[in-house]
Structure 1
Amino acid sequence: MAVSTLAQDLPTSDVDPFSHEVLENPIAFQVALRDVGPVVHLTRYDVYAMGRYEDVHAALINWQAFQSGAGVGLSNFRYEEPWRPPSLLLEADPPRHDAPRAVLSKILGPRALRKLRTAWFSDAEELVEDVVRERQFDAAERLAMAFPLRVFPDAVGIPREGRENLLPYGDHLFNAFGPPNDLVEKGNRRVADLSAWVNAQCARDVLADHGFGAQIWAAADRGDITPEQAPLVVRSLLSAGVDTTVHGLAAVLYAFATHPEQWQRLREEPYLARVAFDEAVRWESPVQTFFRTATTDIEVGGAAIPDGKKILMFLGSANRDPRKWTDPDAFDLARDPSGHVGFGMGLHQCVGQHVARLEAEALLTALARRVKRIEIAGPARRHHNNTLRAWESLPVQVELT
């Protein structure tokens, strides 16, 4: 990272963190970012970047000074019109954020999800049995993508027709949090049609009677949220509830395929499935970045961030910060990964994280029962996204029990 220093001793860099080179492998950039200082001014986009765990964590929990309401992407809603209605969960602060958050927290909480556990474990066993008998397959496509698309849309209650739109829509949404580069341009061709389809799925009369979507509309009937808020809350599930889990599952499958000793430990101690998923989320950080906006002049580590400026928080960097984690580049089931910021932290922490953990537990439990060994079987390809760390293809071969 080429760094210069301003008069107030604030390091600056002209590196583009959204370049394909960095998106392919962000580790070297993240190391340099952390080493330079607590805050670096990225001159290309005039944003202030944080890569150290302590500073990222502090910013995430301080919603009063580091607001989400001006957008969690590069676009600043103080000065720019968002391309779609802002999310009531990700892109709102109290008090606007409170009622939708409370409704979803109850619907997606651990107690509410218990009724899905048996069905999801059964679905995972069926899927795994169908896939692993082939011995060699693309784990990104056949498992990491297939399982969330198999169970989550049913849980929300959307119709089967058109579900192939979910991943492209989410991919564009997370690309749009970054700069208007070639990744955004690629998605712009379909965004109008994809957005129209997603919005249509949020209507009361489209949703099944007993899914998450119907429960959100029931909350509107009770007055917990307004009827105008209900479709936006449903949309938040369809926007952020699929891609992030897909890439989290791909991360944990990649981790086990490259760490056979950890796979053996999971097979011996299957209760570690959720720990494994969280460790993979820390290690790979499927959500790499989020932005906040300074609500006042802020000092971080002696550096001044002016009011109204965007702050780019590198969650993936914080999750590998050696100031926080021992041997951070290792994927290790002996580690306690709690405290990672892969799901965010504080008021805006991912409301669907319990859903993702249940999906991961079901899939990993089924795999551990049937698969003795899993290893990479060919060239794996990354999928580039301005926000997400993802796999396009993850060829593996397995040895069955």
Structure 2
Amino acid sequence: MATIAESAVALDIDPFDPAFLADPFAAHPALRDAGAVVWLPAIGCFAMARHAEVQAALKDHTTFVSGRGVGLADFATEEPWRPPSLLLEADPPLHDRTRTLMNRVASLGALRKVMPQWQAKADALVDSLLGSGPFDAVPALAEAFPLAVFPDLIGLREQGREALIPYATVAFNAFGPRNALLAETMEAAAGATAWVAQSCKREMLTPGGWGMQVYEAADRGECTQDEAERLVRSFLTAGVDTTVNGIATLIHAFAQFPDEWQRLRAQPGLAKKAIEESLRWGGTVQTFFRTTAREVEVAGVQIPEGAKVLLFLAAANRDPRKWQEPDRFDIDRTASGHVGFGFGIHQCLGQMVARMEAEAVVQALLPRVAEIRATAPATRRLNNTLHAIGTLPVELIPA
């Protein structure tokens, strides 16, 4: 593969080095400018960071497959650390069957029914934070709100729900190499992983929730009982940590760009555009891998069959070939076409959950908060896949 890789520019960049993970945006221009396809010797794989090529690879699911793993490990040659996801790490026809089932459960209509309850909880949470002085918006808001609404949607037991965050941290770290970061989080989350495994079982779920609805689909023969358990786990893997970081990133953006908050208060109809711009600008999900099912040429570079290709989603979302002034957070921007939730058949199943949770938070803040003021610099929590915010000291100035 190294010989074939000579047709691509080699870059001395390790995307899983702690310094890179702390500030990936600093290295993205070099990745984009070196070529449409580059070779990363540090991890022995190809990479794409421009919007056009990333979006095209995500769309071409027959060439750039997911069933061999969307992390660095190739499931054709390596044993996965857990049974592969029947959605994220599956190709058609298996993917189509399970996705159709899950789309019926996680429907927009079902979300609209719970939105009034979510809005009431967001309103109460923001009320409790107003006038309280500086606080850390990660645990107090970005974690507190999803943990207040998402577990009820799935039908999880009350005790131990906080395990969802450390478990998801491990899951997203596992898409990278077997590095110290993964080892540390796996050890720290051993109890959380056990809690999640137990919580996916039918007897642990409450009637009416999305989890039980998946098992009822199994009763109708739409999947097996074992597949139902794995599909419930997919909800729990991707349903909290990404949303936590998405909400934290949105708050962080408005603290960094206070004029945009004032613009949104003057034009509340821009709320949905503001959320989309945050998804484009914030880069919560930085990367995912694909594996080539055949030899393919991309922009003059020959990529052999069985090659891992790292897709830099966040770099694509700030590609100046696609966006004007891409590093600026602009709530009036038309951000459609961003790949923050992926693209194509593997586009994030829970994207509407994430959008509606963010919308509930924004609608709670708008009439109550005159300014979202940073009281200290934000810190980062390193993750092999996510650009996660560790702490976010802010103060909400009442309207």
State if a TM-score over 0.5 links the two structures.
yes
Shift of 1:192: 4.4
Deviations 1:179-211 (A, max 9, x none): 111111102314543332211111111101011
Q: Structure 2 CA distance, aligned partners of 1:133 and 1:152?
A: 27
SS of 1:335 mapped into structure 2? coil
Q: Which residue of 1 aligns with 2:236?
A: 238
Shift of 1:377: 0.3
Q: Which residue of 1 aligns with 2:115?
A: 117
Q: Which residue of 2 aligns with 1:389?
A: 387
**Contact 1:273 / 1:360 at 8 angstroms: preserved in 2?**
no
Residue identity in the other structure for 2:23: N
Question: Given the alignment of the two structures, is residue 71 of structure 1 paired with residue 69 of structure 2, yes or no?
Answer: yes
* Equivalent residue in structure 1 for 2:262, among 259, 264, 282: 264
Question: Given the alignment of the two structures, is residue 172 of structure 1 paired with residue 187 of structure 2, yes or no?
Answer: no
Question: Given the alignment of the two structures, is residue 140 of structure 1 paired with residue 138 of structure 2, yes or no?
Answer: yes
**Contact 1:6 / 1:12 at 8 angstroms: preserved in 2?**
no
Identical-residue share of aligned pairs (%): 50
Question: Given the alignment of the two structures, is residue 309 of structure 1 paired with residue 301 of structure 2, yes or no?
Answer: no
Q: Structure 2 CA distance, aligned partners of 1:100 and 1:7?
A: 36
**Contact 1:51 / 1:317 at 8 angstroms: preserved in 2?**
yes
Deviations 1:123-143 (A, max 9, x none): 000111111231321112211
SS of 1:382 mapped into structure 2? strand
* Equivalent residue in structure 2 for 1:48, among 46, 49, 52: 46
SS of 1:385 mapped into structure 2? coil
Shift of 1:270: 2.2
Q: Which residue of 2 aligns with 1:335?
A: 333
Q: How does 1:204-219 map to 2 (within 5 A)?
A: 204-219=202-217
Q: Structure 2 CA distance, aligned partners of 1:204 and 1:8?
A: 51
Count matched residues. Answer: 398
Shift of 1:296: 0.7
Residue identity in the other structure for 2:57: A
Deviations 1:92-124 (A, max 9, x none): 010111122112212222222110110000000
Q: 1:258 to 1:307 in 2, by over 3 A?
A: same
Q: Structure 2 CA distance, aligned partners of 1:7 and 1:64?
A: 22
Higher mean C-alpha deviation, range 270-279 or range 92-101: 270-279
Shift of 1:274: 2.2
Shift of 1:362: 0.4
Q: Structure 2 CA distance, aligned partners of 1:200 and 1:169?
A: 13
**Contact 1:274 / 1:360 at 8 angstroms: preserved in 2?**
no
**Contact 2:5 / 2:303 at 8 angstroms: preserved in 1?**
no
Shift of 1:259: 0.9
* Equivalent residue in structure 1 for 2:154, among 153, 156, 161: 156
SS of 1:135 mapped into structure 2? coil
Higher mean C-alpha deviation, range 338-347 or range 15-24: 15-24
Q: Structure 1 CA distance, aligned partners of 2:176 and 2:19?
A: 15
Q: Structure 2 CA distance, aligned partners of 1:46 and 1:172?
A: 23
Q: Structure 1 CA distance, aligned partners of 2:107 and 2:285?
A: 21
Q: Which residue of 2 aligns with 1:91?
A: 89
**Contact 1:249 / 1:277 at 8 angstroms: preserved in 2?**
no
**Contact 2:285 / 2:340 at 8 angstroms: preserved in 1?**
yes
**Contact 2:4 / 2:303 at 8 angstroms: preserved in 1?**
no
* Equivalent residue in structure 2 for 1:277, among 269, 272, 275: 275
Q: TM-score, normalised by structure 2?
A: 0.97
Q: Which residue of 2 aligns with 1:101?
A: 99
Q: Which residue of 2 aligns with 1:197?
A: 195
SS of 1:185 mapped into structure 2? helix
Q: 1:8 to 1:265 in 2, by over 3 A?
A: same
Shift of 1:390: 1.0
Higher mean C-alpha deviation, range 281-290 or range 11-20: 11-20
Q: Structure 2 CA distance, aligned partners of 1:322 and 1:118?
A: 39
Residue identity in the other structure for 2:207: D
Q: Structure 1 CA distance, aligned partners of 2:273 and 2:266?
A: 14
**Contact 1:11 / 1:37 at 8 angstroms: preserved in 2?**
yes
* Equivalent residue in structure 1 for 2:24, among 23, 26, 47: 26
Question: Given the alignment of the two structures, is residue 286 of structure 1 paired with residue 290 of structure 2, yes or no?
Answer: no
Q: Which residue of 1 aligns with 2:226?
A: 228
SS of 2:367 mapped into structure 1? helix
Q: Structure 1 CA distance, aligned partners of 2:263 and 2:378?
A: 24
Q: Structure 2 CA distance, aligned partners of 1:123 and 1:177?
A: 33
Higher mean C-alpha deviation, range 243-252 or range 222-231: 222-231
Deviations 1:246-294 (A, max 9, x none): 1111111000011111101221222322221111111011000000000
**Contact 1:89 / 1:100 at 8 angstroms: preserved in 2?**
yes
Shift of 1:167: 0.5
Residue identity in the other structure for 2:297: E
Could you tell me which runs of 5 or more consecutive residues in structure 1 were left unpaired when the two chains were aligned: none
**Contact 2:131 / 2:397 at 8 angstroms: preserved in 1?**
no
Could you tell me which runs of 5 or more consecutive residues in structure 2 were left unpaired when the two chains were aligned: none
**Contact 1:319 / 1:340 at 8 angstroms: preserved in 2?**
yes
Q: Structure 2 CA distance, aligned partners of 1:53 and 1:354?
A: 23
Q: Structure 2 CA distance, aligned partners of 1:115 and 1:121?
A: 11
Q: Structure 2 CA distance, aligned partners of 1:279 and 1:51?
A: 19
Q: Which residue of 1 aligns with 2:14?
A: 16
Q: 1:399 to 1:192 in 2, by over 3 A?
A: closer
Q: Structure 2 CA distance, aligned partners of 1:223 and 1:265?
A: 51
Q: Structure 2 CA distance, aligned partners of 1:8 and 1:14?
A: 14
